[in-house]
């Protein structure tokens, strides 16, 4: 029997490719070329599945051009690159990689929070530039993390991981806002109190964004929200570009409307708003919150398991639109 054809849209761990090749005819991109939409569509022709990494947009137009496609397996927990309703209408399954990255991503949220609060990269740039000639009482004086108020917008698995770190590790008071409130048990475990978005903006010393990107969360933090924050507050975004209005944030940082920001994700990444590159009080990282070797390996294997599980055994592990399975 012919093996199903799959496309792996980006370079992956060689052993993951080897696993996929045991089950599929694989077209890969180990050269890690950046394909245009047309190039992606051309390569998707005749494929039953695609391994994506969050950067490849799968929408009605792509689906119409690739009628053989049955599954898109994202190597990411976020799936805003998928038009899920269009996929469901076309009976194409979407899968993502939840859980395996939760703790690693929460670790990084905390790393960015601490680097931002304690001005780590600003200090490093100063030192590397040879500007450190004497100690000064207020040199790179930042804000305290321990005992401060940690605000979390979006309280899914990663948000809860950040809450636990803040409450149990740093004695922070944790407040959160989310579409739905956590169960009393989870709130107690995270030592987190539910507040309105306004209260969250007003009271957080450190505000971490961990909500999914959607039309509803586009520019959830813009000029009006930044204006409500404390002038001493720090903002951390490990969620998605587009949740923050980057131009407004750069202005707020320049005007010291808020103290500092730590950003791992950007509107239109890998491009970064030029104003963010020139303000000093921002820590910038290139979308690496899930980037540890074991976690990236686990994400890649889970995406591969979803392709194998669905196309070979009819049982994907982490389906996003299981109604497609029910209809099959």
Give the Cβ contact number of residue 8 at 10 Å.
Answer: 28
Active site residue 287: yes
CB of 54 to ligand 8YV, least distance (A): 3
Active site residue 27: no
Nearer to ligand 8YV by C-beta: 192 or 210?
A: 210
C-alpha span between 133 and 76 (Å, rounded):
45
C-alpha span between 166 and 150 (Å, rounded):
7
Show the site string, 248-287: x = touches ligand 8YV by CB under 6 A, - = not: ----------------------------------------
Query: How many residues would you count in the chain?
Result: 328
Show the site string, 67-86: x = touches ligand 8YV by CB under 6 A, - = not: --------xxxx--------
DSSP annotation of 168 = I
Among 19, 28, 40, 53, binds ligand 8YV (CB under 6 A): 53
Q: Is 98 in the site for ligand 8YV (CB under 6 A)?
A: no
Nearer to ligand 8YV by C-beta: 78 or 322?
A: 78
Q: Is 94 in the site for ligand 8YV (CB under 6 A)?
A: no
> Which member of 240, 267, 273, 296 is catalytic?
240
Nearer to ligand 8YV by C-beta: 75 or 201?
A: 75
Nearer to ligand 8YV by C-beta: 75 or 114?
A: 75
Nearest to 105 by CA among 35, 21, 162: 162
Among 101, 114, 207, 249, binds ligand 8YV (CB under 6 A): 101
Active site residue 15: no
Show the site string, 282-301: x = touches ligand 8YV by CB under 6 A, - = not: --------x-----------
Backbone angles phi, psi at 302, to 5 degrees: -65, -40
Label residue 96 exposed, middle or buried (CB < 10 Å: 0-12, 13-18, 19+): buried
Nearer to ligand 8YV by C-beta: 201 or 302?
A: 302
Nearest to 51 by CA among 305, 268, 314, 312: 305
User: How many residues sit close enough to ligand 8YV to count as binding (CB under 6 A)?
Assistant: 8
Strand (E) positions, 88-134? 93-95
- Under 8 Å between Cβ of 100 and 299: yes
- Under 8 Å between Cβ of 299 and 101: yes
Q: Is 212 in the site for ligand 8YV (CB under 6 A)?
A: no
Nearest to 173 by CA among 136, 144, 135: 144
Nearest to 162 by CA among 175, 173, 152, 147: 152
Q: Which residues of this protein are in contact with ligand 8YV, per CB under 6 A?
A: 53-54, 75-78, 101, 290
Active site residues: 240, 269, 287
């Amino acid at each position: 029997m012919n093996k199903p054809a799959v496309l792996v849209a980006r370079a992956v761990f060689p052993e993951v490719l080897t696993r996929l090749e045991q089950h599929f005819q694989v077209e890969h991109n180990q050269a890690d070329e950046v394909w245009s939409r047309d190039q992606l569509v051309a390569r998707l022709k005749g494929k039953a599945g695609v391994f994506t990494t969050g950067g490849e947009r799968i929408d009605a137009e792509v689906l119409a051009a690739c009628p053989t496609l049955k599954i898109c397996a994202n190597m990411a927990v976020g799936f805003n690159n998928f038009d899920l309703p269009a996929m469901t209408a076309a009976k194409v399954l979407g899968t993502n990689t939840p859980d395996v990255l939760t703790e690693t991503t929460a670790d990084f949220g905390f790393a960015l929070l601490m680097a931002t609060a304690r001005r780590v990269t600003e200090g490093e740039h100063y030192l590397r530039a040879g500007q450190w000639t004497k100690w000064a009482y207020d040199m790179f004086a930042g804000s305290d993390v321990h005992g401060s108020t940690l605000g979390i917008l979006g309280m899914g698995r990663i948000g809860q991981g950040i809450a636990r770190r803040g409450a149990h590790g740093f004695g922070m008071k944790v407040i959160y806002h989310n579409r739905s409130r956590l169960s009393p048990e989870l709130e107690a475990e995270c030592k987190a109190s539910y507040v309105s978005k306004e209260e969250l903006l007003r009271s957080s010393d450190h505000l971490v964004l961990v909500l999914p990107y959607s039309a509803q969360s586009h520019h959830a933090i813009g000029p009006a929200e930044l204006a409500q924050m404390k002038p001493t507050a720090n903002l951390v975004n490990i969620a998605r570009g587009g949740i923050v209005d980057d131009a407004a944030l750069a202005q707020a940082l320049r005007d010291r409307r808020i103290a500092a920001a730590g950003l791992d994700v950007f509107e239109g990444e890998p491009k970064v708003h030029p104003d963010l590159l020139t303000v000093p009080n921002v820590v910038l990282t290139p979308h690496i919150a899930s980037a540890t070797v074991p976690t990236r390996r686990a994400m890649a294997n889970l995406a591969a398991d979803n392709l194998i599980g669905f196309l070979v055994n009819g049982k994907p592990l982490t389906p996003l639109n299981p109604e497609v399975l029910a209809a099959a």
